[in-house]
Structure 1
Amino acid sequence: MARLPDRRPGFSRRAQYGIFTGYVVAIGGAVIGAVLLVVSLIQPEAFGFARTAANEVGRPSGVAAAHSRTIGQAIYATVGAYFNAGQQNAALSREVAAARANAVTARAVADENHRLKALLGIVDPVDRPVTAARLIGSTAQSARRYAVLNEGSFSGISAGQSVRAAAGLIGRVVEAGPHTARVLLVTDPENVVPVRRVGDGLPAFVQGAANGTVEIRLINMGLNPLHKGDVFVTSGSGGLYPPNVPVAIATAPHRDGASGRLASDPADTDFVVVLPVFQPGAVAALEASRQAAGPPPPVDEGN
Structure 2
Amino acid sequence: MRGGSISSRPSDPIKPLFLRGPSPTLRVILAVVCALGLIIADHRFDHLERVRSLLSVLAYPLHLAVNVPAALVRATRDRLTDAAQLRAMTTALGRENLLLKARLQQFESLEAENMRLRDLLGSSFNIGERVLIAEILAVDLTPSRQQVMVNKGASSGVFVGQPVLDANAVMGQVIRTNPFSSVVLLITDSDHSLPVEVNRNGLRAIAAGSGVGQGLELLFIPKNADVREGDLLVTSGMGERFPRGYPVARVTTVRQDPDNPFTTVLAEPTARLDRSREVLLVWTLDPQMQQKALTGAESSEDATP
Report the TM-score when normalising by structure 2: 0.50
Structure with bigger gyration radius: 2
Using CA pairs below 8 Å that are at least 6 residues apart, which structure has the higher relative contact order?
1
